[in-house]
Amino acid sequence: MPNFSYYHIEIEESKETKEVVVKGEVTNNSDKSYSTVAVRVVLFKKNVTIASVVFSIHGLTAGATRAFRKTIEELDYRQVGKEITRYDIYTETAF
């Protein structure tokens, strides 16, 4: 069973495009290495979902920690960035 932990999650504005960027670190707490990990990030404005995206992290070996960065193209940080009240981040699948 995959066991991943997510740390240092930040939501910020992309310097290049003004879109929302989610970045942080993921640690593989299992004794198995994975070639691909699918991660879902859900962003909320109060209790309303404003974005739900899946992205892949490749080559996450047993015990390793990797940084990630995902640009959410459909969100303009200047319009919604300050209104994001919470997020969920979790592993959808790993293989």
Domains of the chain: which residue ranges? 4-94
In this predicted model, what pLDDT tens digit does every residue of 59-74 receive, in sequence order? 999 999 999 999 999 9
Predicted TM-score (pTM) of the model is 0.92
Residue 2 confidence (pLDDT) above 90: no
Q: What CATH superfamily classification does 4-94 receive?
A: Immunoglobulins (2.60.40.10)
C-alpha–C-alpha distance, residues 20 and 36, integer Å: 24
In this predicted model, what pLDDT tens digit does every residue of 15-72 receive, in sequence order? 999 999 999 999 999 999 999 999 999 999 999 999 999 999 999 999 999 999 999 9
C-alpha–C-alpha distance, residues 18 and 73, integer Å: 9
